[in-house]
């Protein structure tokens, strides 16, 4: 699979296909890492596929090779400061550092996060990444001066203090993934739609790669708007062309006339939407089809608007006093208006029980706690 990914590294659609195939097979595909990545896709000791440094946009093959060569000669990099002092900075420039940071290649350094590298302290002109590079240059200049001084030797230490670590909030998941995609070409460490997985699994009946299986039927899909363009037709009427993308594919959609007036305000790049639509024959082209939106809603509003019941499925043998206490605690701390049902499953049979006493809210906290309890499957309706 690593060889397939390397062979198709310039074809984003093929790479995406093989990454999905890896996930289906249970093979992890990890992002770039300056302490583990090769030039192309490789396999680590844990039998996981690791993204290659050479495939990060903006780094260049010479920069990637310099990182790999130095690591193979002198071992893994301990932190970002050692990284910058060990490399030939004529081979690895500022653009390469930015791409490494943005793509997650420095995530192996536990004391930093991606946002720190681009943070600028109040009253200062340089971002932290620029300070790091300047620090590396100063270190190497002093080391060279020591080696060439009258009393110098290669063994002399270079005493330059590291720049102060900035204090700033990490990027949110959506921002982190968006910037990751900018330099890698696709999402590796996750997908922006991951936070809406419950909505997609429970309220959508189709994915964008399978809409042709639902001709003349109403479908419900969810995705992120990636492109949007408004223009004027030859007869002077406005229209909109936009693209929506989900886990499995993307679709380009046109809005004209009343559809444009009714829905165009929702078409904003980066917007997460829940769309009801229908695949219909194109006007005057019976053999060609187009996806026509019926309604658009903010995906973040769907769970609260549509969830009426929450179902928890559990096997009787997994119920004990601790599980009961944990369930009661999470239910009491997430009171809401949704009916709660518990399904007991045993040997292929099930009994559905509903609570007269408790109603709950479908919050992220509620479902995270249910996941943490373990052995409970949930769905909403």
Residue 148 has pLDDT above 90, yes or no: no
Tell me where in the chain the CATH 2.40.50.140 domain(s) lie. 194-302
Rounded to 5°, angle at Cα 291 from 289 and 292: 120
Residue 153 has pLDDT above 90, yes or no: no
* b/e per residue 290-303 (b: at least 16 CB within 10 A): bbebeebeebeebb
Average pLDDT over residues 39-43: 95
Confidence of residue 348 (pLDDT cuts 50, 70, 90): confident
Q: Each residue of 210-220: pLDDT tens digit?
A: 999 998 889 99
The whole-number pLDDT of residue 158 equals 65
Average pLDDT over residues 145-152: 67
The whole-number pLDDT of residue 353 equals 92
Q: Each residue of 288-345: pLDDT tens digit?
A: 888 999 999 999 999 999 999 999 999 999 999 999 999 999 999 999 999 999 999 9
The whole-number pLDDT of residue 155 equals 46
Pick the CATH number of 194-302 from 3.40.50.1860, 2.40.50.140, 2.40.110.10, 3.20.20.70: 2.40.50.140
Q: Each residue of 176-230: pLDDT tens digit?
A: 988 998 898 888 888 889 889 999 999 999 999 899 999 888 999 999 998 999 9
Residue 150 has pLDDT above 80, yes or no: no
HSE-CB for 377 with a 13 A CA cutoff: 6
d(CA 207, CA 279): 13
The whole-number pLDDT of residue 41 equals 95
């Amino acid at each position: 699979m690593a060889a397939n990914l390397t062979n198709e590294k310039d074809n984003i659609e093929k790479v995406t296909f093989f990454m999905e195939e890896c996930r289906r097979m249970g093979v992890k595909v990890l992002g770039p890492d300056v302490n583990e990545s090769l030039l192309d896709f490789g396999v680590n000791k844990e039998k996981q596929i690791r993204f290659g440094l050479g495939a990060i946009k903006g780094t260049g093959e010479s920069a990637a090779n310099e990182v790999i060569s130095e690591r193979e000669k002198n071992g893994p990099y301990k932190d970002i400061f050692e990284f910058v002092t060990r490399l030939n900075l004529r081979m690895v420039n500022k653009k390469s550092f930015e791409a490494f940071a943005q793509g997650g290649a420095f995530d192996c350094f536990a004391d930093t996060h991606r946002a720190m590298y681009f943070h600028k302290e109040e009253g200062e002109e340089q971002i932290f990444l620029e300070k790091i590079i300047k620090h590396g240059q100063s270190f190497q200049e002093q080391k060279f001066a020591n080696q060439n001084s009258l009393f110098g030797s290669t063994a002399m230490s270079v005493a330059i203090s590291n720049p102060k670590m900035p204090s700033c909030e990490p990027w949110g998941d959506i921002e982190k993934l968006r910037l990751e995609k900018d330099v890698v070409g696709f999402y590796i460490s996750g997908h922006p739609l991951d936070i809406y997985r419950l909505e997609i699994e429970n309220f959508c009946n189709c994915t964008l790669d399978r809409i042709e299986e639902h001709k003349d039927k109403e479908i419900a899909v969810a995705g992120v708007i990636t492109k949007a363009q408004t223009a004027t037709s030859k007869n002077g009427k406005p229209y909109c062309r936009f693209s929506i993308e989900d886990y499995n594919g993307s679709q380009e959609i046109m809005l004209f006339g009343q559809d444009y007036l009714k829905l165009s305000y929702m078409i904003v790049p980066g917007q997460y939407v829940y769309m009801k639509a229908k695949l219909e024959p194109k006007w005057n082209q019976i053999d060609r089809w187009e996806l026509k939106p019926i309604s658009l809603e903010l995906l973040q509003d769907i769970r609260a608007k549509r969830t009426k019941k929450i179902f928890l499925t559990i096997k009787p043998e997994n119920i004990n006093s601790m599980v009961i206490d944990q369930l009661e605690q999470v239910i009491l701390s997430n009171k809401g208006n949704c009916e709660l049902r518990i399904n007991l499953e045993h040997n292929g049979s099930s009994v559905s029980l509903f609570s007269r006493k408790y109603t709950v809210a479908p919050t992220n906290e509620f479902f995270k706690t249910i996941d943490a309890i373990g052995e409970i499957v949930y769905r909403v309706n």
